Structure 1
Amino acid sequence: MRLDPLSIPYRIAENSVRIGGAIVLAGVAGSGGSGGSFLQGAVIFVGLAAIGVALVAGWEVAYHRRFRYELTGDTFDIHSGVLSKRDREIPYHRIQNVDLRQNVIQRLLGIAEVRLETAGGGQTEAQLQYVNREEASRLQEEVPRRRGSDDSEDVDGQQQPAAASGRTLFAITPRELGILGIVSMDLRLVPLLLGALSIFGPTMIAEIVPDTEQLFLVGPIVGVGAIVATAVLSGIISVLRYYDFQLYRRGEEYRYERGLLQRFSGSIPVEKVQTLSIRENVLARWLGYASLTIETAGYSPEQGSGARSQAAIPIAERDRVLELARSIEPIEEFTFERPPKRARQRYAARYLLVVGVLVAGAYAITLHPDVAGPWYLTALLAVGVPIAAHLKWRHRGYYLGEEYVITRNGFWSQRITIVPAYRVQTVVSSRSIFQRRRRLASVVIDTAGSSSLRGDDAVAADIDDAVATELREAVGDRLQTALTTRRSETSEQSEPASA
């Protein structure tokens, strides 16, 4: 089977744009070096552009003619290569996800990009750029079926679309989409933005507002405006990304669709689910909303292997998020065990140290002859230290159940991580030099999920050191019990099949 013929003009246009910058620079250089007229420069530019497009077109036609793919009994075979031939055979059991992507132009042309992701791979195993939308949907259904992970049945000899035969678990509403735009305003770029404004802002403002007395008024307004614009832009991006988000269960996979400008369609194998994470920032928590993400075995449907987790619910009321989490993993009711109160003393000491550094920095700035001001006012930040320490302590904790370990961390951005006992890889307890002084320790519960690859494991932080030892041993025991139970269940299921 070949790629869609429309992929040829689309890839020509796509790659021509990529080399357009080099063509423009070459044209400008040719025009300036010739010492000729504007007409001569234009001729050089058009000539270079024509040569570049012709080379791209020839390459893409050859690429299309040499590219083949087929579904055999055991493998997904791809044959490609223009100057050198490359043959790949990808076993179905290694293919973890078949994801589809379409931007606006691709949707108008009726073509889509198909990405084959394999478990444990560091990048996308193969890409089909591009096939028609019907063929992309067929591949997304056929590969899981041949892998043996899709138990959907054919109707009248034809495979049913996922949305038709799948059970819808979540569909975002316009109200939830609006709230998502509000609570997902990302302020992480604010420090970088303020730094850039402090360097380039005064010069730019001075050119617009010559009166130096007005700079003290215009400067803060520009800074606040830039922060607001950054927050609004990040909110708009989130709305566009999760527009018309839908999650449904299809056989042994969770399927999702989302996006306005760029449409995504992908799958999350049930057997690859490692942990669940309930996330909420301060604003979302105040409004009673949260999000749910699924960590898979070293793979992220959005960014490739080990990059990120996939949002199962981008935003919804917290009770609804917990309900869906329990439909994925039947977790029991839980109440967190908080760290001992002496952990607050550690947080307070840490924050006081930060305040001391800020006060010293403010004083150091005033040592410059041209700078003066009430540097000592920064010491007022110490008033908020007890509050900050208490909030950090209050929003930490863990829960140990018979089949699950659940941890909670973070105030500004809280994360509750649900780890099934049978998914635990290792359990490590550690004590820093500062924790030892207060008889505290942290227990890290490692899984094969993408969060572990980022160093973002579930952590029971700053608990009593004796309790940490007990927790580590208890989690290990539950892991062995869970594995034994699952082996027994697998054996019982295989016996009737063999009989």
Structure 2
Amino acid sequence: MTPDSSVAPAPAPATATSADAERRLHPMSWLFVLVQQLKQFVLPLVALLVFGRGDRNELWPLIGVGALAVFSLWQYFTYRYGVVGDALVVRSGVFERSVRVIPFARIHNVALQQSLLHRLFGVAEVRLESAGGNKPEAEMRVLKLADAIALETLVRQRGRGAAVAADGETQEADLATPLLSLPPTEVLRLGLVSNRGMIVVGAAVAGASQFSPRLIPNLFETWGAALFGWAGQQHFGPPEYALAAISLMALFVLALRLFSVLLALLQYHGFQLSEHGRRLTVERGLLGRWRTSASRRRIQAWTLHEGVLHRVFKRRSLEVDTAVAEDQNQQRALRELAPIATPQACDGLIEHLLPAAGWSQLPWRPLPMRSWWRLFVWDVPFALLVTAALAWRFGGWGTLALLWLPWSIYKARQHAARAAYACSDELIAVRGGWWTRHWRFAELDKLQALQLTRSPIDRRCGTATLWLDTAGAGAWSPPLRIRFLPEADAQALYAALARTLARRRLRW
């Protein structure tokens, strides 16, 4: 879906009137609105048609479908958008008129989505998002692909012009600079190292529950009774039970990896990260295509991730948090700058996008090694409960679960040995994890709040935890915090960061 610059119309002049600039949605937009509305009714309608008993009353839901079709047509005939000066004006409704004026400087993210149906009709869905909202500023279903690309270009140009005027920076040429692309081999590696197969399992469970809430529990009960009955007939002992459990787990993991590879191919085929001036654009997808862009100024925090399989393939992933409206569909959000890449490529991206931060020269300071026991102590109650349950079921063999405790001690010591933090004039960074490692960092200008906390154990040990808050943090992102700091060091770092933030905000 690479845009051709020849099809993008020139931006409307600042003196254009709304009548001159107004445009309609695509003539087939009503069909896509209808499809979107019907998604939540697909499974019930299929169940009605397949398992219905021939009663005429079962056809009443089709009246709702007709009402949704009328609503879709109504939205097409009443929706207008246009450019007036440095703002986008969206008009909708007839009896209840709605006029929404959206300044280009307020639009932080532009997302273009193309499903397979969109690609067949040569159209795209456009979402314009801003920071601090729970829904997009405007959602256009659907526009011609050329119009969608032209609107994205216009938002990028006008938004950058406003940023240049505010920051006094030199305007850069609107040329796309490729930063990262993923060939098919890298996409396959991404599928192998990720756990996206759980999405397929979750979707299957949700779909099955639509037909019968008891379908999944009944299957587990039936299969469990059959497996344990067969195992009882074979007079399995604890070693045989353990081998059977390991075999079933291996099959489950293999199936998850196959699903993960399939999802990775569907979602990340043709992945390309490019730079347009001060905006970053990501385009990806096999059957459906997603194209989203956001200003580099809106990136709030960064996460560099490295799991066990990442290390096997000598790869990492780089994600960012952006200050845009919350969106349950993460495919539309600009989060993954590098879903998978070599450590050198990830470091190169960070150095390019944060040239003043000095990422490769950060002065890392390790946390006290003596705090390892505080990571270990939380595993003790869990290990004792599991051991008691297994000993009750299998007798003395169950006490083998206590072997988890030495492993927990080793794991806690490894976590404590890798934990560190770094602070420079531009950046604050935290390093953590051992089995699965992460680097979490943010520019000092993007910090929203500082909090110094001390638990009863902290007061006993003379330590403290410093929490650093940024906007747009993802629910699954590791926290930006520094734990187990000696109290004096924590107080000094807190005071230094507070003075730096106060100084910079006074300049604003």
Residue number among 252, 264, 275 corresponding to 1:249 in the alignment: 275
Rounded Cα–Cα distance in structure 2 between residues aligned with 1:481 and 1:6 = 54
- Partner of 2:209 in structure 1? none
- Partner of 2:345 in structure 1? 320
Structure 1 position 414 matched with structure 2 position 437: yes
The answer on whether the counterparts of 2:429 and 2:439 sit within 8 Å (CA) in structure 1 is yes
Q: Which amino acid aligns with 1:238?
A: A
Residue number among 450, 459, 467 corresponding to 1:444 in the alignment: 467
- Partner of 2:88 in structure 1? 76
The answer on whether the counterparts of 1:169 and 1:249 sit within 8 Å (CA) in structure 2 is yes
Tell me the TM-score normalized by structure 1.
0.80
The verdict on how the C-alpha distance between 1:189 and 1:79 changes in structure 2, with shifts beyond 3 A counting, is closer
- Partner of 2:188 in structure 1? 178
Q: Deviations over 1:326-375 (max 9, x none)?
A: 11112221242121121012223333343223223334x43xxxx65622
How many angstroms does 1:57 deviate by? 3.2
Q: Which amino acid aligns with 2:410?
A: I
How many angstroms does 1:270 deviate by? 1.8
The verdict on how the C-alpha distance between 1:142 and 1:385 changes in structure 2, with shifts beyond 3 A counting, is same
- Partner of 2:78 in structure 1? 66
Q: Which amino acid aligns with 1:94?
A: R
Tell me the TM-score normalized by structure 2.
0.79
The answer on whether the counterparts of 1:301 and 1:310 sit within 8 Å (CA) in structure 2 is no
How many angstroms does 1:26 deviate by? 6.2
Rounded Cα–Cα distance in structure 2 between residues aligned with 1:59 and 1:197 = 37
Rounded Cα–Cα distance in structure 1 between residues aligned with 2:248 and 2:193 = 23
Q: Which amino acid aligns with 2:494?
A: R
The verdict on how the C-alpha distance between 1:441 and 1:381 changes in structure 2, with shifts beyond 3 A counting, is same
Rounded Cα–Cα distance in structure 2 between residues aligned with 1:187 and 1:377 = 31
Rounded Cα–Cα distance in structure 2 between residues aligned with 1:430 and 1:151 = 37
Rounded Cα–Cα distance in structure 2 between residues aligned with 1:316 and 1:113 = 29
Structure 1 position 464 matched with structure 2 position 489: no
- Partner of 2:170 in structure 1? none
- Partner of 1:329 in structure 2? 354
- Partner of 2:308 in structure 1? 282
Q: Which amino acid aligns with 1:107?
A: R
Structure 1 position 425 matched with structure 2 position 448: yes
The answer on whether the counterparts of 2:270 and 2:285 sit within 8 Å (CA) in structure 1 is yes
Q: What stretches of structure 1 of length at least 5 have no aligned partner?
A: 34-40, 153-160, 488-499
Rounded Cα–Cα distance in structure 2 between residues aligned with 1:304 and 1:180 = 17
The verdict on how the C-alpha distance between 1:377 and 1:230 changes in structure 2, with shifts beyond 3 A counting, is same
Rounded Cα–Cα distance in structure 1 between residues aligned with 2:387 and 2:62 = 62
The verdict on how the C-alpha distance between 1:379 and 1:53 changes in structure 2, with shifts beyond 3 A counting, is closer
Q: What stretches of structure 2 of length at least 5 have no aligned partner?
A: 1-22, 165-172, 205-214
Rounded Cα–Cα distance in structure 2 between residues aligned with 1:294 and 1:206 = 46
Rounded Cα–Cα distance in structure 1 between residues aligned with 2:51 and 2:408 = 60
How many angstroms does 1:24 deviate by? 5.5
The answer on whether the counterparts of 1:144 and 1:150 sit within 8 Å (CA) in structure 2 is no
The verdict on how the C-alpha distance between 1:108 and 1:27 changes in structure 2, with shifts beyond 3 A counting, is closer
The answer on whether the counterparts of 1:7 and 1:130 sit within 8 Å (CA) in structure 2 is yes
Q: Which amino acid aligns with 2:350?
A: A
Q: Which amino acid aligns with 2:280?
A: Y
The answer on whether the counterparts of 1:8 and 1:64 sit within 8 Å (CA) in structure 2 is yes
Q: Which amino acid aligns with 2:482?
A: A
- Partner of 1:157 in structure 2? none
How many angstroms does 1:72 deviate by? 1.3
The answer on whether the counterparts of 2:269 and 2:284 sit within 8 Å (CA) in structure 1 is yes
Provide the secondary structure at the position in 2 that maps to 1:380: helix
How many angstroms does 1:204 deviate by? 2.2
The answer on whether the counterparts of 1:278 and 1:290 sit within 8 Å (CA) in structure 2 is yes
Rounded Cα–Cα distance in structure 1 between residues aligned with 2:417 and 2:153 = 46
Provide the secondary structure at the position in 1 that maps to 2:292: strand
Rounded Cα–Cα distance in structure 1 between residues aligned with 2:198 and 2:49 = 40
Rounded Cα–Cα distance in structure 1 between residues aligned with 2:245 and 2:304 = 39
- Partner of 1:497 in structure 2? none
- Partner of 1:492 in structure 2? none
Rounded Cα–Cα distance in structure 1 between residues aligned with 2:312 and 2:226 = 43
- Partner of 1:493 in structure 2? none
Structure 1 position 262 matched with structure 2 position 285: no
Rounded Cα–Cα distance in structure 1 between residues aligned with 2:47 and 2:313 = 52
| RMSD after superposition | 3.7
How many angstroms does 1:62 deviate by? 2.2
The verdict on how the C-alpha distance between 1:435 and 1:362 changes in structure 2, with shifts beyond 3 A counting, is farther
* Number of equivalenced pairs: 459
How many angstroms does 1:407 deviate by? 0.8
Rounded Cα–Cα distance in structure 2 between residues aligned with 1:17 and 1:51 = 16
- Partner of 2:126 in structure 1? 114
How many angstroms does 1:112 deviate by? 0.5
Q: Deviations over 1:128-179 (max 9, x none)?
A: 0001100000000112322344899xxxxxxxx97xx211111112232222
Residue number among 448, 458, 465 corresponding to 1:435 in the alignment: 458
- Partner of 2:415 in structure 1? 392
How many angstroms does 1:94 deviate by? 1.6
How many angstroms does 1:304 deviate by? 7.2
The answer on whether the counterparts of 2:30 and 2:76 sit within 8 Å (CA) in structure 1 is yes
Provide the secondary structure at the position in 1 that maps to 2:108: strand
Residue number among 351, 361, 375 corresponding to 2:389 in the alignment: 361
The verdict on how the C-alpha distance between 1:454 and 1:190 changes in structure 2, with shifts beyond 3 A counting, is closer
